[in-house]
Amino acid sequence: MTNDNPETVMAYTAKDFRSELKPIWCPGCGDYGVVTAIYRALAAVGRPPHEIAFVSGIGCSSRIPGYTTAYGFNTVHGRALPIAQGIKMANPDLLVLVASGDGDGFSIGGGHVAHAIRRNIDLTYIVMDNQVYGLTKGQLSPTSPRGAKTASSTYGSLEEAVNPLLYVLAYGAGFVAQGVPADMEGLSKLVEAGIRYPGFAFINIQSPCVTYGDPESQLKNQKGKMRKLESEGHDPTNRLRAMELAQEYGQTLYTGIFYQDPASRPTYTDEVLRRQTELKPEALPRDQILSLFEPK
Ligand SMILES: Cc1ncc(C[n+]2csc(CCOP(=O)(O)OP(=O)(O)O)c2C)c(N)n1
Ligand code: SF4
């Protein structure tokens, strides 16, 4: 099953996906660029807002669903993925996007990532990785580099950072990419490619926190630092090479698609639907099942 529903692919502009809610991020926060890239990607994909569900956890970055015209669910810290999986399973035709921060996604919610990946649920998982807890005012996050001085590591972090790219590749994610808001064109295309990928797609976005983040990682420095995988001649179907490149996380700012599985594996939803048809040909159609729950 893919994210495209040809019956409802129409012409949209980025504006159609922008809600009336005005973002309250700090001026200069990378998340402004991320939401703009998402508007553009959704316009390119062409599904109407009412066919899209956008789920998030808690954090500055998790405000994103509210700034779009899609159905939104700002859930609880770290639990965006389980809820998004349930939404997708109950509504296989919905296009489901998930937004997290690095804390939301790889600290409190880290345990859920592996399971969403191994089930290959057709979700686009966007993590705004600013290497700090922004919303709670600048504590150490799982992707903060060793030595990072934050509100909760005044003398410098003693811990190694989690590598989100290597983590999802190790669990077998079929689509793994990294982008930066400073490269709006490139980031919009990555988000679009992630949405179009028929399975679990992960996009790590280095989205700087201007208030508590490392001054070196800010937007103005991103263009000079980024190295496009495409220009480096990387073959995105080579998973082992993708893992080698992913080891550079925190040192080299690679952008683009690290890995895209050329053979599209069946998603969990595909498998369930197939088994329902093959093993239970006598199963009731969905509307008849729902009618059983209606009050008499
Ligand atoms: C169960 C629970 N624990 C802790 C918190 C406090 N809390 C809210 S957001 C957050 C971390 C935010 O960091 P991140 O996920 O990286 O997102 P950012 O704000 O940087 O975008 C924490 C610890 C909470 N809301 N719920
Ligand atoms: S605290 Fe950081 S992450 Fe949160 S809105 Fe401000 S700049 Fe963005």
- Neighbouring CB atoms inside 10 A of 176's CB total 29
Give the predicted TM-score (pTM) of the model: 0.93
Q: Which residues pair with 202 in a beta bridge?
A: 125, 176
Distance 134 CA to ligand 1 centre (A): 8
pLDDT bin (cut points 50, 70, 90) of residue 2 is very low
- Neighbouring CB atoms inside 10 A of 59's CB total 27
Beta carbon of 131 within 6 Å of any ligand 2 atom: no
| pLDDT value, residue 283 | 66
**Domains annotated on the chain, with CATH:** 6-264 (3.40.50.970)
Q: How far is it, in rounded angstroms, from Cα 106 to Cα 166?
A: 12
Residue, of 42 and 2, whose pLDDT is higher: 42
pLDDT digits (tens, 9 = 90+) for 205-261: 999 999 999 998 899 999 999 999 999 999 999 999 999 999 999 999 999 999 999
pLDDT digits (tens, 9 = 90+) for 96-134: 999 999 999 999 999 999 999 999 999 999 999 999 999
Mean pLDDT of 157-167: 98
- CA distances to 26, 95, 205 from 231, in Å: 33, 31, 19
| pLDDT value, residue 282 | 65
Edge-to-edge strand ranges of the sheet holding 52-56 = 71-74, 52-56, 95-101, 123-128, 201-205, 175-179, 253-260, 226-228
Q: Are 81 and 125 in contact (CB under 8 A)?
A: yes
- Neighbouring CB atoms inside 10 A of 208's CB total 29
For 277, the enclosing helix (H) or strand (E) is helix 268-279
- Substitution candidate for ligand 2 out of 127, 130, 131 with most atoms within 8 A of CB: 130
Quote the crossing angle between the two packed helices 184-196 and 31-45, to the nearest 10°: 50
Least distant ligand from the CA of 214:
2
- Neighbouring CB atoms inside 10 A of 232's CB total 11
Residue, of 52 and 290, whose pLDDT is higher: 52
Percent of all residues in the chain with a pLDDT value above 90, rounded to a whole number:
86
Least distant ligand from the CA of 213:
2
Least reliable range by pLDDT among 15-24, 124-133, 222-231, 280-289: 280-289
Distance 99 CA to ligand 1 centre (A): 13
Residue ID of nearest Cα to ligand 2 atom 2: 209
Residue ID of nearest Cα to ligand 2 atom 1: 134
What tokens were used for 69?
Answer: 């015209």
pLDDT digits (tens, 9 = 90+) for 52-84: 999 999 999 999 999 999 999 999 999 999 999
Distance 218 CA to ligand 2 centre (A): 12
Position in ligand 2 atom list of the atom nearest CA 59: 4
Distance 48 CA to ligand 1 centre (A): 31
- For residue 199, pLDDT over 90 is answered with yes
Residue ID of nearest Cα to ligand 2 atom 5: 25
